[in-house]
Amino acid sequence: MHYESELREPLILGDKSLHQITEDVCRPIEGKANKYWWAAFTLASMALLWWIIAVSYTLGTGLGVWGLNKTVGWAWDITNFVWWVGIGHAGTLISAILLLFRQKWRLSINRSAEAMTIFAVICAASFIVSHMGRPWVAYWPLPLPNQFGSLWVNFNSPLVWDVFAISTYFSVSLVFWYTGLIPDFAAVRDRAKTKTMKFWYTVLSFGWTGTAKNWQRFEEVSLVLAGLSTPLVLSVHSVVSMDFATSLVPGWHTTIFPPYFVAGAIFSGFAMVQTLLIITRKVLNLEEYITIYHIDMMNRIILITGSIVGVAYITEFFIAWYSGVEYEQYAFINRATGPYWWAYWSMMTCNVITPQLFWSSKLRTSVFATFFISIFVNIGMWFERFVIIVTSLHRDYMPSSWTMYHPTWVEVGIFIGSLGLFFVPFLLFTRFFPVIAMSELKTIVKSSSSQAKKKGAHHHEH
Amino acid sequence: MSTKMAYGVFEDDDVVLSAIPKLREKKFKVTDVIAPFPIHGLDHALGLKRTRISMTSFLYGCTGTSLALLMIWYMNIWDWPMDIGGKPSFALYKNIAAFIPVTFEVTVLCAAHGMVITFFLRSKLLPGVEPHVIDDRMADDRFVMSIEVKNDTEKAAAHAAMKEAGAIYVKD
């Protein structure tokens, strides 16, 4: 039995019994969708449709329909890829790293954060495929014998590392998420009223009953998966950063990139979790599970990772000056004062200044402030990748090649559309999957719920 | 099934946990407790052996490391060494730094998936498996204890003992 001081904030409010938790979590699955859900789903489907049109046009016509030119060969495509992969990092951080640190507040948010991870990684992967221009040869980075000659992939190349990192990350996160879902699917199955529901949740729950041996294995599997996912999640964004850092482009060729990218990824991931959960808890009436305390905890992580990112920006600038390499120095001066100054200063404002507002506990515990700051962080982190990619490329070693980059409607369409690619599955998830890991949450009812705290306080009075 | 089971349904994890040693003292064969969430200490109370699932993960991980290194060595060092950017692929140990990321990812891939597949197979968890549901709320808020019995007299005794230990109702 796990005991906890009543001075700690309760993690479940409203004196919930075990049965009440099941009722609350199953309600969205068993009930009908309300009009807000349908409005959001319609909007997301329209965005997804736009994505399909823009991607089909790109693949049918060729990469010429994008605004890329002879100097800027990567722009919105890789910006969006890194942005989405970064967002995907919070889910694994919450479910794996916080599990190893025994942070119980992860329990009501891990399921939806992991879902977010999976859908975000799908969006990221879609940019890899679309930026290839010829997706029918997308299997070329795989270690297969080449039919055009016995040439293998180059394992010294960071782009090959990335293929392995992203696919491992995606598949392991998916399996981690699904394993956790099985007992909850069983709970939905056992209370299913209709035949269709009974059938589907029986299939999804893999015949789970919750015997002592199964739970023993389940807990061990979760722990080992957390142990494996922790270095994995840190490796993924490190490898993404090496796509840049191992090149010789001034502005990219920096050893600070791996830790700086990982901190940025967790920063943006938590911001997206806040954006999503603040809406989800309201629409699905889960305010008693995803409490102000949970929001406060996540804001603290945003504050610390935002500060790490801020320090990294300043360090980069300092090192550029200290290196004495004029190309490196120019790359950074050009970022801050060149034609893309507005992108650089948007990034600085959103990522370095706004999260510092979270030193105030009033703002940290305000749902309204959190929502707006999380949006700022999402925007700022998009600009960070845009700044790194486009400003480093648009003025290279040869001034005669200097140019500007302008996106076309196709690139804008693919980006906006990718939000649809993300929100359509996420909204379906909130309708068909238990959005809170109820079987895990039930383990803390006797120690961290509001009624447990009252009981503890009552004991002391006597 | 050749042996019969007597089931008792409980409503509290602490009650069911403390009932196990009481019933064992009375020589009842408590075989299992089905729970909606993992109960801390249940495996000890039931005398379950420690699971070896994490050991399988380690072995799958070792297999992954070996496979990755073998693959990279064969493809980039042995079969078709390439000299890219003045960084020739002479020997595995000379290029090992560049091979660490892929080796690491393949290790994690094999360790994670191997373990989870083993878990599913060993626990007979697969799509299409029909669950043996004893109480509709056993994945919700109820705990089902099962006692192995040989005949109807033993079953009646087991039922009575579980009721006494706090079961809300008993079942065949």
As a whole number of angstroms, the distance between CA A270 and CA A260 comes to: 16
CB-count exposure of residue B133 (10 Å: 0-12, 13-18, 19+): middle
User: What pLDDT digit, counting tens, does each position of A292-314 carry?
Assistant: 999 999 999 999 999 999 999 99
Residue A200 lies in a domain: no
Which tokens is A90 given? 């919070």
Which of the four pLDDT bands, split at 50, 70 and 90, describes residue A457? low
**Is there a domain that residue A109 lies in?**
yes
| Structural domains in chain A (count) | 1
Task: Report the C-alpha gap between A104 and A81 in whole angstroms.
Answer: 32
| Cα A430 from Cα A440, distance rounded (Å) | 18
Is A393 domain-assigned? yes
Same domain, B31 and B58: no
- Secondary structure (3-state) at B61: helix
Closest CB to B133 among A168, A190, A211: A190
Task: Tell me the per-residue pLDDT of A210-250, one tens digit each, with 9 for 90 and over.
Answer: 999 999 999 999 999 999 999 999 999 999 999 999 988 99
Mean of all residue pLDDT scores within chain B? 89
**pLDDT band for position B1 (50/70/90)?**
very low
Question: How would residue A148 be classed by pLDDT, with cut points 50, 70 and 90?
Answer: low
User: Terminal CA-to-CA distance of chain B, rounded, Å?
Assistant: 13
pLDDT, mean of residues A81-96? 89
Whether A7 has its CB under 8 Å from any CB of chain B: the answer is: no
> B101 at the A interface (CB within 8 A)?
yes
Radius of gyration for chain B, computed over Cα atoms and rounded to the nearest angstrom: 26
Q: Is residue A186 part of a domain?
A: no
Chain B residues in contact with A171 by the CB 8 A cut-off are 109, 113
For A119-139, write each residue's pLDDT tens digit: 999 999 999 988 988 888 888
d(CA B19, CA A401): 80
Q: In whole angstroms, how far apart are CA B119 and each of A219, B91, B116?
A: 11, 38, 5
Q: Chain B, 121-140: which have a CB under 8 Å from a chain A CB?
A: 122-133, 136-140
Could you give the CA distance from residue B95 to residue A69 in angstroms, rounded to a whole number? 35
pLDDT number for residue A459: 60
Residues B118 and B141 in one domain: no
Q: What does residue A258 show for φ and ψ, rounded to 5 degrees?
A: -55, -55
Average pLDDT over residues A35-64: 93
Q: How confident is the model at residue A163 (pLDDT cuts 50, 70, 90)?
A: very high
Chain B contact for A397 (CB, 8 A cutoff): no
Burial class (CB in 10 A: 0-12, 13-18, 19+), A54: buried
Least confident of A232-236, A288-292, A446-450: A446-450
Residue B129 domain-assigned? no
What is the percent of chain A with per-residue pLDDT over 90, rounded to a whole number?
67
CA–CA gap between residue A89 and residue A223 (Å, rounded) = 18
Q: What is the mean pLDDT of residues B88-109?
A: 91
Of A152, A175, A207, the CB nearest to B116: A175
Whether residue B47 is contained in a domain is answered as no
Q: What is the pLDDT of residues B49-61, one digit of tens each?
A: 999 999 999 999 9
**% of chain A at pLDDT higher than 70:** 97
Q: Single out the residue of B13, B24, B27 nearest to residue B47, CA to CA.
A: B24
ipTM of the complex model: 0.93
Predicted confidence (pLDDT) at residue A1 exceeds the cutoff of 60: no
Indicate whether A282 belongs to any domain: yes
pLDDT digits (tens, 9 = 90+) for B142-169: 999 999 888 888 888 888 888 888 888 8
Between the CA of residue A210 and those of A440, B32, B114, what are the distances in Å? 12, 10, 22
pTM over 0.80: yes
At B28 the pLDDT is 86
| Count of positions (residues) in chain A | 462
Q: Which of A176, A81, A169, A141 is nearest to A381 (CA)?
A: A81
Q: Is the pLDDT reported for residue A370 higher than 60?
A: yes
Residue B154 included in any domain: yes
Chain A: nearest CA to B141, how far in angstroms?
5
User: Which residues constitute the domain of residue B15?
Assistant: 4-36+137-171
